[in-house]
Amino acid sequence: MICKRLLSVAALVCFLPAGLIAHAQAPLPPEPRTPPLLLGAAWYPEQWPESRWDADLSLMEAAHIHFVRVGEFAWSTLEPSEGDYQLDWLDRAIRLAEKHHIAVVLGTPTAAPPAWLTQKYPETLRTLADGRKDEHGNRQQFDWSDPKYRELCRIIATKMAERFGHDPNVIGWQIDNEYANESYGPADRTRFQQWLKAKYKTLDNLNARWTTAYWSETYQSWDQIPIPQSGNPGLMLNWRQFISDTWRSYQKNQLDAIRAHADPRQRITTNMMGWFDRYDHYTVSQDLDFASWDDYIGSGHIDPARNGATHDLTRGFLRKNFWVMETQPGMVNWSADNNMLNKGEVHAMAWNAIGHGSEAVEYWQWRSDLNGQEEYHGTLVGPDGTPVPVYYEVQQVGADFDKAGPALAGTTVDSQVAILNDYPSRWAIGWQRHNKAFDPIDSLMTYYRPLHSLTGSIDIVADTAPLSRYKLVVAPALNLLTPAAAKNLEAYVRGGGHLVLGQRSGMKNEDNGLNPERQPGPLVDMLGARVEQFYALLPSVPVPVSGDWGSGEDTLWVEQLGSLKPDTQVLMRYGKSNGWLDNQPAAVTRKVGQGSITYIGMELSPETGAKAAQWMLNQAGIEPTMPNLPEGVDLAVRTGEGKRILILTNYAAEPRTIKLPKPMENILEGGTVDSITLPQYGVAVLK
């Protein structure tokens, strides 16, 4: 690889056909090559003359690229006019990729309806929140609930699946692309009202559960109910749940069309967007074969913990390994400052994904579009078709994936710790932040950072996920607690689990109304304590806090705990501040059989958070994986098939030496080591 890196581009291109001739002698494999770790690129053959495809695929093969994703915006090429299906070019692209040992993931093109479609069926255009109709010329201009649009989507997905559903070189499908925009037209509103009627059955029920007597919001007929921009918390919550269900059925329409014609080995996904929260990802993922997401940094540099948590979130959608379906080859074009990642950072970022359970890393996109909205975006080859500098770094990623693939095959992230994520809770806090700086993801990260650095593996799952396999479950800002989730948490603790609830937990019920027990609602009795009062803080007036986890200062949000049962133990207390909080409990815990429940009403600072995390692990009987990691070194652990793989990455500017708990096989460099020194962005994969 190093000598290839030293070759000029021209020499590299000349070098390739020799390799290809060698391949050409051998019969094509019956199934595509799908190694355990996949490197991919988003390729848009429809934008380029066919005579160019072979050169692109040769460069991809030389970069160890195993798959391309094709077709997800190509509707106007696949069906240039209604009913005129042009799939031969796609077939030729798939065949040529196969010759280069590159498999294909097909995207259904429904995120980019062609002009003829929106012209002939204007009812398929979405209505913006201000009442204007969207128009052709961008993408995602469709109405996700419109029956005509769904019919047209079903037809194009069916045509593609009939043609490629048994294609040996097609390994999977991506439905649409990054679901994002809902629609606010009169027909959407009617469908929302029908959905509400099916859920609440009677208006009396709906009115009571939403407390619509407040501000005379009472509804006398279903058609009075609006699509909210802001408004009643129950109405707001239901609109988001309707959006989620509607994306699910939008997707199911295409899933069914493909599954009717495709081999089950062609697994189906859609590319989601990390913490994006306009729909409930647990609702939408449940019909997919695997989850995937688009991992973009935008401005700045990778924060391995936050990026890692986003991988864990995605892995949690279906509680199994996932794919990074898109990531930046160094830079994007859509941020305020589209800086290039540092040399080495793209490589480290790829391993961040693998460490958290990804099976694939795909770069968006292969080559710069000559025109179109994304001319400035990072690519692997430039508009002239020759590699840009980051190409060679991605080539190294591919070489490493090939080397480490066998060791990582059959492994996943198997954590003893789960952090709960809940969309309704995040929406509810988002609509009523009470302190504009309170962000539920930031709050989650105050737990994630210290716990992940001690364990190297965390699961992020829904509050209704099976929990008995975890020794510790942490629920930061679980604001809205449905009866099902409350039952799940209570059964977990009674079964011997250790539950930690963070700020703002258990305040609301399933209709986004207040729990009369106060926080944590249905869990007050088990905790033997409750939140007496919450306080949004002024950053200029910090509240001191001290106790078992040392001392710190809170500046955002605190909760005063009280009404303690005799066996509820106080762990932390507030110091002198606004009078109300002076010497009041800030964190409490109570043993329940073999398990325990803890409520943390204070913020965790880096200092108190580190001690609190250590306390939580002790409480749950979990040994830290590598307790004394040097600052800036990130640890990830994957296990399976009797193997345990550690992935260490140094994000510090200076080299770091890490002492290993025992001698380990160095997968990328070879040999056995008991300590390792990594330069900035250096990665070690150790078995």
CA distance 596 to 341: 44
* 72 has catalytic annotation: no
Q: In what order do the strands lie in the sheet with 271-272?
A: 267-269, 170-174, 103-107, 67-70, 38-42, 358-363, 322-327, 292-295, 271-272
Name the DSSP class of 339: P
The residue with tokens 């400035």 is 376
Residue among 292 and 515 whose Cβ is closer to ligand GAL: 292
**Residues in the chain, how many?**
687
Residue among 274 and 456 whose Cβ is closer to ligand GAL: 274
Shortest approach of ligand GAL to residue 353 CB, angstroms?
A: 16
Any contact of residue 177 with ligand GAL (CB under 6 A)? yes
Shortest approach of ligand GAL to residue 328 CB, angstroms?
A: 6
Any contact of residue 457 with ligand GAL (CB under 6 A)? no
Shortest approach of ligand GAL to residue 352 CB, angstroms?
A: 18
Residue among 347 and 377 whose Cβ is closer to ligand GAL: 377
CA distance 458 to 596: 20
Among 61, 143, 167, 294, binds ligand GAL (CB under 6 A): 294
Any contact of residue 69 with ligand GAL (CB under 6 A)? no
Q: Are 30 and 98 in contact (CB under 8 A)?
A: no
Q: Are 304 and 634 in contact (CB under 8 A)?
A: yes
Residue among 332 and 500 whose Cβ is closer to ligand GAL: 332
Residue among 39 and 477 whose Cβ is closer to ligand GAL: 39
Residue among 373 and 618 whose Cβ is closer to ligand GAL: 373
> Shortest CA distance to 101 belongs to which of 68, 63, 69, 61?
61
> Shortest CA distance to 519 belongs to which of 543, 540, 535, 503?
503
Residue among 61 and 178 whose Cβ is closer to ligand GAL: 178
In the numeric block, which tokens belong to residue 345? 């950072």
CA distance 189 to 187: 5
Shortest approach of ligand GAL to residue 325 CB, angstroms?
A: 8
In the numeric block, which tokens belong to residue 265? 């080995």
Shortest approach of ligand GAL to residue 138 CB, angstroms?
A: 11
Q: How do beta strands 643-650 and 683-686 pair? A: antiparallel
Long-range CB pairs of 191-195 (<8 Å, 24+ gap) are 191/145, 191/242, 191/246, 192/225, 192/227, 192/239, 192/242, 193/222, 193/223, 193/225, 194/222, 195/242, 195/245
Shortest approach of ligand GAL to residue 334 CB, angstroms?
A: 6
In the Cβ-directed half-sphere of 394, how many Cα atoms lie within 13 Å? 33
Any contact of residue 402 with ligand GAL (CB under 6 A)? no
In terms of C-beta density within 10 A (0-12 exposed, 13-18 middle, 19 or more buried), how is residue 431 classed?
middle
Contacts with ligand GAL by CB under 6 A: the residue count is: 10
Shortest approach of ligand GAL to residue 95 CB, angstroms?
A: 25
CA distance 632 to 302: 12
CA distance 52 to 13: 13
Any contact of residue 326 with ligand GAL (CB under 6 A)? yes
Among 245, 369, 374, 439, binds ligand GAL (CB under 6 A): 374
Cβ-count burial 600-639 (b if 16+ within 10 Å, e if not): bbbbbbeebbbbbbbbbbebbebebbbeebeeebbbbbbb
CA distance 285 to 247: 10
Any contact of residue 178 with ligand GAL (CB under 6 A)? yes
Q: How do beta strands 633-640 and 656-665 pair? A: unpaired
Residue among 237 and 380 whose Cβ is closer to ligand GAL: 380
Residues 230-289 that bind ligand GAL (CB under 6 A): none
Any contact of residue 15 with ligand GAL (CB under 6 A)? no
Shortest approach of ligand GAL to residue 175 CB, angstroms?
A: 13
Shortest approach of ligand GAL to residue 52 CB, angstroms?
A: 21
Any contact of residue 296 with ligand GAL (CB under 6 A)? yes
- Within 10 Å of residue 426's Cβ, how many Cβ atoms? 23
Among 332, 462, 507, 658, binds ligand GAL (CB under 6 A): 332
Any contact of residue 364 with ligand GAL (CB under 6 A)? yes
Distances from the Cα of 265 to the Cα of 169, 207, 268, 326, 411, angstroms: 11, 48, 9, 22, 20
Shortest approach of ligand GAL to residue 94 CB, angstroms?
A: 20
Residue among 328 and 505 whose Cβ is closer to ligand GAL: 328
Alpha helices in 456-560 (DSSP H): 483-494, 524-527
CA distance 555 to 557: 6
Any contact of residue 183 with ligand GAL (CB under 6 A)? no
Shortest approach of ligand GAL to residue 67 CB, angstroms?
A: 16
Residue among 376 and 580 whose Cβ is closer to ligand GAL: 376
CA distance 600 to 561: 9
Residue among 81 and 373 whose Cβ is closer to ligand GAL: 373
Q: Which of 61, 79, 98, 326 is catalytic?
A: 326
Is the link from the previous residue into 539 a cis peptide, with omega within 30 of 0? no
Is the link from the previous residue into 365 a cis peptide, with omega within 30 of 0? yes
Shortest approach of ligand GAL to residue 155 CB, angstroms?
A: 23
Residue among 118 and 327 whose Cβ is closer to ligand GAL: 327
Among 164-172, 208-216, 326-334, 626-634, which window interacts with ligand GAL (CB under 6 A)?
Answer: 326-334
Among 347, 377, 611, 638, binds ligand GAL (CB under 6 A): 377
Residue among 177 and 415 whose Cβ is closer to ligand GAL: 177
Name the DSSP class of 547: E
CA distance 206 to 224: 13
Q: Which of 61, 79, 98, 178 is catalytic?
A: 178
Any contact of residue 200 with ligand GAL (CB under 6 A)? no
Q: What are phi and psi of 592, to 5 degrees?
A: -130, 100
Residues 116-175 that bind ligand GAL (CB under 6 A): none
Give strand pairing partners of 70: 106
Shortest approach of ligand GAL to residue 373 CB, angstroms?
A: 8
* 46 has catalytic annotation: no
Residues 592-611 that bind ligand GAL (CB under 6 A): none
- Binding residues for ligand GAL, rule: CB under 6 A, are 177-178, 294, 296, 326, 332, 334, 364, 374, 377
Residues labelled as active-site residues: 178, 326
